Amino acid sequence: MTILVTGGAGFIGGNFVLDWLAKSEEAIVNLDKLTYAGNLETLSSLEGNPSHIFVQGDIGDVALVERLLAEHKPRAVVNFAAESHVDRSIHGPGDFIETNIMGTFRLLESVRGYWSALPDADKAAFRFLHVSTDEVYGSLAKDDPAFTETNTYEPNSPYSASKAASDHLVRAWHHTYGLPVLTTNCSNNYGPYHFPEKLIPLMIVNALAGKPLPVYGDGMQIRDWLYVKDHCSAIRRVLEAGRLGETYNVGGWNEKPNIDIVHTVCKLLDEMRPKADGSSYSTQITYVTDRPGHDRRYAIDARKLEKELGWKPAETFETGIRKTVEWYLANPTWVANVQSGNYREWVQKQYQAA
């Protein structure tokens, strides 16, 4: 048996591939375009593992995807591939429309062609799992209840609008063509192999490099943080037992203002890698211009997933963030190699006006 994973050289996809192959004999065909966010070094421990078949390519390349489906006959497709960074979507939305909307559309069409020709039993067992985000629901006020699966879609950034569009396409391919789909909408992930353009890894690597820790606006925006391996276990569980056509919210019950996150990272670094001059890393915190249209608060109500499928996160924020900081301290080569690529140019462009 085989599954096709897309975007499996990225942050969450990479963690998913590593976890899957550590727990299962079932092979993975990993289709990834290797954009700036794709990093094969994350998967270096799988070198020579015949259960991991990596293919560089685009989910929107219909001929390639059709060939992979025909050749490997996967029993499921898990779609992680996307442009994922909100700030990049503000500077240049084109790639987000192309991959997140058009790419998902083309992938759905390739998969539909493959699935409709399967024998009845394989057809019934097949699954297309689409990995999406809580950002499709928009922004919450301070006292609003957390997002449930029935919240209306109110995306506010080019990124979240493109993900919302992809969710709608997935839904429509189920209702119209009967494609057996599942969708997960997850909150902010953190953990190993996270590209240092996102808040937590950026703060860790900047702190260690003695650089400013750029906090947008007043730093009181709230995100709901989930350790990446808990997201992976939720996806495995939904793939295994989720009801067809349903969406499942995934979250860690860990709402925190950004500034608290940054202080927590600084405290852990003060403890694990104290600065030579005895000062705290928090002295590097710098407030910078806010993100345009910045969503104020996200919060996920993950009770459906717990009630229906018995999933719960294994990590608290305290255990997960400690493991994360330890991982970055233990893997300076991974970080250095990421930083020597496009990442540097991006950081310059993003913060030069701040």
List residues binding ligand NAD (CB under 6 A).
6-7, 9-13, 31-35, 37-38, 58-60, 80-84, 99, 103, 131, 133, 163, 186, 188-189, 195
Given the residues 109, 134, 255, 301, the one annotated as active site: 134
Closest to 114 measured CA to CA, from 61, 72, 69, 71: 69
Select the residue interacting with ligand DAU from 135, 167, 230, 255 (CB under 6 A). 135
3 state DSSP class of 201: helix
CB of 53 to ligand DAU, least distance (A): 26
The size of the interface with ligand DAU (CB under 6 A), counted in residues, is 19
Which residues on adjacent β-strands are paired with residue 131? 184
- 265, amino acid identity: V
3 state DSSP class of 195: coil
Q: How far apart are CA 135 and CA 184, in angstroms?
A: 12
- Residue 315 a catalytic site member: no
CB of 85 to ligand DAU, least distance (A): 5
CB of 129 to ligand NAD, least distance (A): 11
249 scored as a contact of ligand DAU (CB under 6 A) = no
268 binds, among ligand NAD, ligand DAU, none (CB under 5 to 8 A by kind): none
The strand ranges marked E within 101-246 are 127-133, 181-186, 188-190, 213-216, 222-227
In angstroms, what CA-CA distances link 84 with 43, 62, 69, 87?
19, 22, 25, 9
Q: How far apart are CA 146 and CA 56, in angstroms?
A: 38
Whether the Cβ atoms of residue 122 and residue 232 lie closer than 8 Å to each other: no
CB of 190 to ligand NAD, least distance (A): 7
Residues written for the chain: 354
- Residue 134 a catalytic site member: yes
Closest to 15 measured CA to CA, from 234, 257, 309, 179: 234
216 scored as a contact of ligand DAU (CB under 6 A) = yes
Select the residue interacting with ligand DAU from 32, 134, 230, 255 (CB under 6 A). 134
Given the residues 32, 58, 83, 159, the one annotated as active site: 159
263 scored as a contact of ligand DAU (CB under 6 A) = no
Which positions are catalytic?
Answer: 134-135, 159
| Binding residues vs ligand DAU (CB under 6 A) | 84-86, 133-135, 187-188, 198-199, 202, 214-216, 221, 223, 258, 291, 298
